[in-house]
Structure 1
């Protein structure tokens, strides 16, 4: 068994963790930071672990005819569903769901408070040496929060938001079912139009699928009450960006915090750069920028490696039909 690890974000501690797991299963292991080639002697690699976008960019997966399992360090894997990408179409794909909840939940809390407490305005004024005027603010307390996407990220945020004593936290997902008791109520996406008119903070943590493409359309943005806030940490394809811009410019919305976009990096000509009351971050809410995230990511891979070697069911296997 050969394992190829693209190790750009890994420290020596992480490499030692992976090496120890590989030794337990008797696997040959190769670390490389060069995503543009397959190291000599590893053309028959069975397992790949690493940051998927780099691998895809180098077409390395097509060079691995014996690949049986690819462990991606991201939660979203939509970029892997390309015809003919794998020579072995039965390849197992696992993602890092469960590694990003903490990082992204903190990001959602941070940007929500920045918008609702007018911190962006105060920072701008103080940066220019001005004592800011007092402005009306809003609070997470008694706020009506809707979480669109009740997976690990959405639910980790909801558990933290609960401490702020919101009026209600409503979960919305494809099935309309969620085992996490943090939600006051959970509905299927079929009920989204009924929920949006009473949503003061809409948090979106959806994967990129055919069903989620453009789910927050112009019509649905207009269903939100005046002054509502939107935070998107899932995929940019879920929002009609032109409609969002119009809603911000007309002051219908209180603000929007976007970490993901239809095209990344966000083009310089995008009108979103000049939108009112917008917070733009460069897909950094999760990524591998937080030590906890990297640690948990490696732990998930090592746990799955032992399961794989023993022929046991692995965790976080992506359903190729649903896309997550």
Structure 2
């Protein structure tokens, strides 16, 4: 069995993985540098190697990504139907949910305005603020990250409404209401925070558009840490400039990087970060990824496919 390790594994990480894959050959290479020739005889790839290169791997039996989102690998022509795909879902829960809570506080307390004032050396009061306590938070996408964020907002005193694609009977204690996406239009007018951690599937493209932005309170805040194309950027820019909503925080945009001349950069009450809520900036995140990868590797080589974590349905994209 030949394995390509495309994640930034440390020496300690490599020893850990090799202990799980005795008898296998593991080749380590920066995922950005992996080319078609490197994958011709590879059985397993660990890491987010380019989809174009993945599509040229004739023997690939299993791909373990270092990302929670895997939609780029679920497109036609990338993986064979029988190729196992697993994600790093669960590894990013802390870092992304904390980013989401942090921007909620920033918007509530107008810290974005005060930071701009500081840059301009302007001592100026920005008026009344709001609180997370006693607010209503609508969480679109109640996966692993969504649950962690929901739990944090609930602990801060917000009334949390979870929105999923399909109805679930197992409502977490930290979710006050659990419903489905078909009720979104009824829920938007109730929310003070509309937080999005949706997968990159076709039905989620521009799920927040002009119509739905108009359904939101003019004091409500939109938070997007899922996929940039879930929000119509032009519609959001207009909503912010017209005061249709109170503000927004985006860690993901459409496209990425956001072009220098895109009007969202200077739209009022809009916080933009360059897709850094996840990544490996928090040490715990990559530790989690290595653990998931090692456990899955051990189970795969033992033939325990059923016991592997985060198996992805190619057709659903998650």
TM-score (norm 1): 0.92
Cα RMSD, aligned residues only: 1.7
**In structure 1, distance between residues paired with 2:218 and 2:60:** 51
Decide which moves more: 192-201 or 26-35: 26-35
**How much does 1:12 deviate?**
2.6
User: Moved runs in structure 1, 4+ residues, more than 4 A?
Assistant: 38-42
**How much does 1:281 deviate?**
0.6
1:318 correspondence with 2:312: yes
SS in 2 for 1:35: helix
**How much does 1:10 deviate?**
2.8
**In structure 1, distance between residues paired with 2:36 and 2:233:** 41
1:74 correspondence with 2:67: yes
**In structure 1, distance between residues paired with 2:121 and 2:228:** 35
SS in 2 for 1:132: coil
**In structure 2, distance between residues paired with 1:299 and 1:16:** 12
Q: Is contact 1:176–1:189 with CA below 8 Å preserved after alignment?
A: no
Deviations 1:137-193 (A, max 9, x none): 111000110000000011001111122111x10000101325433200111111111
| 2:165 paired residue number | 174
Q: Is contact 2:36–2:57 with CA below 8 Å preserved after alignment?
A: no
Q: Is contact 1:150–1:172 with CA below 8 Å preserved after alignment?
A: yes
**How much does 1:128 deviate?**
2.9
| 2:33 paired residue number | 36
Report 1:172-321 matches (<5 A): 172-177=163-168, 178-312=170-304, 313=306, 314-321=308-315
**How much does 1:241 deviate?**
1.2
Match of 1:126 among 96, 118, 126: 118
| 1:47 paired residue number | 44
**How much does 1:290 deviate?**
1.4
The 1:210/1:134 distance shift into structure 2, 3 A limit, reads closer
Report 1:98-137 matches (<5 A): 98-137=90-129
| 2:58 paired residue number | 65
| 2:4 paired residue number | 4
Decide which moves more: 9-18 or 258-267: 9-18
